[in-house]
Amino acid sequence: MSPQEHCYTSFQASINTYTLPERFTFPFYYEPHPLCLLAAKELQQHLNTQTQWQHNFGLGDDQDNIIGKMFGVLVVQNEQNEIGYLSAFSGKLAGSNHLKKFVPPVFDLLQKESFFLSEQAEINQLTTQLNILEKNPNIEKYHTILNAEIKASTQHISAKRIQIIEARKNRKRQRQAAEKDLESHQFLQLKEQLSKESIDAKKQLKELTSYWNKRIEYAQDQLNLLIDPLSDLKQHRKKRSAALQKKIFQQYQFFNIKGDQKSLHHIFIETSQKIPPAGAGECAAPKLLHYAFQWKMKPLAMAEFWWGASPKSEIRQHKNFYAACHGKCKPILKHMLEGMSVDDNPLLINPAQEKIIRIIYEDDVLLVIHKPEDLLSVPGKSIKDSVYQRIKQEYPQATGPLIVHRLDMSTSGLMLIALNKDTHKHLQKQFIKRTIKKRYTALLDGLIKEDKGFIDLPLRVDLEDRPRQLVCYEHGKPAKTQWQVIERKNMKTKVYFYPITGRTHQLRVHAAHVKGLGIPIVGDDLYGTKANRLHLHADFLEFQHPISGQSVYFESPTDF
């Protein structure tokens, strides 16, 4: 059986009624093609029924060592013009790189004949040597001696300096008194004597400093005899590790449809990252395309889905489809898709072009507006149309930043606009002090048991997949939300959200994360499932008017 036959899968169901895609999937934002949905369904059936290997996806009772996985399917046309699909998983599965039905890795580090294992073993030996040297008790002993010498030096030299300062003050008093009481020749003799005392004091300080410097230098030399070999060994290990990493990067050679090859090293050297991140090249998407090109198959469409329990930090829903990540995959796929006809990037199309901003309230210093969903609050990299641009055009006399706070592009509802700098400053202070009251209405894609609660999950951006956010207790910023159920209907739950902080995607993550409500907002294309829109709406806003000082509030009911 050839590798091609080993990984290529014919559809079990008839595909005679399916239309082939005209262009390949844009991998960073897509709706799965019907053939991809069928391939994913068949692969998921295989995952449910196969018995050749075991992997804890967290879908059963065993809650130890859970590792969910991203799987991918690539619909292809082989050299016999047959339509089938390839399957892949990201990273390793069941502790292996090679499993029947799945394409192999682009480069297998774990092969017995691979240079990686032998060179990694040598680096591990260096690490063992380092651990032995670092445990030498004399290192701590000489560290203690050196610190004691430095401390004693500081104390003795400081005491000497104080003594010199007091002596200098005393000599000054003697000169001042002698100038009045002594004859001139006696005064000159005294000045000469005092000058000699000053020179002697400086000499003593210099000698004392030299004495302690020599003692410290000796203690440092004794310590260096032990730690210099450590530093040399660490540097040697670092160079060996860097050389091995570069060698690995060179082994990951990715094809494109033109037959051109590029290594991970050359792909990422052209990016701002320069160095490939950990796991680059091991994701399902590049593995699938590389295999297809290698075996002269034509890629038609691709989709990736998550299988298993969600990780602790990011949000992944079982069976949901997800776009390829930006940090690891985007530079690789940019090369691999060269020469292919690919769907347009939908993120470059302005979905709010025909949507309007409604003015809820207006006076000389501020506006309260209703922002429609899909309209940016401020100009983006590709789409400039935004609340800021439109207000700037409609109110050319307005000064200052205009935008007091933001709503996510997909979120609709109330926004405050300041028409001058003083108003902007006044309103910003209220947001900073959290005296402004905000409320959002959201429709959750499921039922929750509790009627109200509080969510405290710190957030930070996913550096490898912007703009997605991660729950991170180490580097995340505080993010707190109160919530209350409004109604439960048609297997969905409508809730009020009262955000205490205002982090990016806070309500979306707090809704979807397993430690939050565990149910995504309807239409959330990042943390849930895409629908006609994100069902999240800023419906209430209360603040102190910057001119009158009175508390004012505004409401904008939802239509979902």
Residue, of 510 and 111, whose pLDDT is higher: 510
Give the list of residues 6+ apart from residue 526 with CB closer than 8 angstroms, or none. 467, 468, 505, 508
Among the listed residues 408, 465, 524, 539, the single catalytic one is 408
**Residue 408: active-site member:** yes
**In this predicted structure, what is the pLDDT of residue 225?**
94
- Checking if the pLDDT of 5 tops 70, the result is no
Summarize pLDDT for 143-161 with one digit per residue, the tens: 999 999 999 999 999 999 9
Task: List beta partners, residue 359.
Answer: 369
In the three-class reduction of DSSP (H, G, I as helix; E, B as strand; rest coil), residue 493 is classed as strand
pLDDT at 197 over 50: yes
End-to-end CA distance of the chain: 55
Per-residue model confidence (pLDDT) at position 102: 97
Distances (CA, A) of 237 to 127, 170, 298: 8, 60, 44
Whether the per-residue pLDDT at 1 is higher than 60: the answer is no
pLDDT of 320-362, one tens digit each?
999 999 999 999 999 999 999 999 999 899 999 999 999 999 9
CB neighbour class for 116 (10 Å; exposed up to 12, middle 13-18, buried from 19): middle
Element (H or E) spanning 367, and its range? strand 366-371
pLDDT at site 278 = 86
The bridge status of strand 536-544 relative to strand 412-418 is parallel
The larger pLDDT score, comparing residue 400 to residue 444, is at 444
Q: What is the pLDDT of residue 161?
A: 94
**How is the chain split among helix, strand and coil, in percent rounded to 5?**
35, 20, 40
Global confidence as pTM? 0.81
User: Mean pLDDT for the chain?
Assistant: 94
For the segment 190-203, the average pLDDT, to the nearest whole number, is 90
Helix (H, G, I), strand (E, B) or coil at 77: strand
pLDDT higher than 60, residue 2 = no
pLDDT digits (tens, 9 = 90+) for 278-328: 889 999 999 999 999 999 999 999 999 999 999 999 999 999 999 999 999
Span of 53-62, 106-115, 285-294, 381-390 with lowest mean pLDDT: 106-115
Q: Is the pLDDT of residue 496 over 60?
A: yes
Q: Are 506 and 481 in contact (CB under 8 A)?
A: yes
Question: What tokens does 230 get?
Answer: 């450590």
pLDDT recorded at residue 4: 53
Cβ atoms within 10 Å of 294's Cβ, excluding its own: 16
Structure tokens, 75 = 């619909």
| The pairing of beta strand 551-555 with beta strand 536-544 | antiparallel
Rounded to whole angstroms, the Cα distance separating 510 from 518 reads 8
- The pLDDT, as a whole number, for residue 268 is 94
Q: Counting beta carbons within 10 angstroms of the beta carbon of residue 332, is it exposed (0 to 12), middle (13 to 18) or buried (19 or more)?
A: buried
Give the whole-number percent of the chain exceeding pLDDT 90.
85
pLDDT value for 245? 87
Mean pLDDT of the 31-35 span: 97
pLDDT at 190 exceeding the cut of 90:
no
Q: Mean pLDDT over residues 39-55, rounded?
A: 96
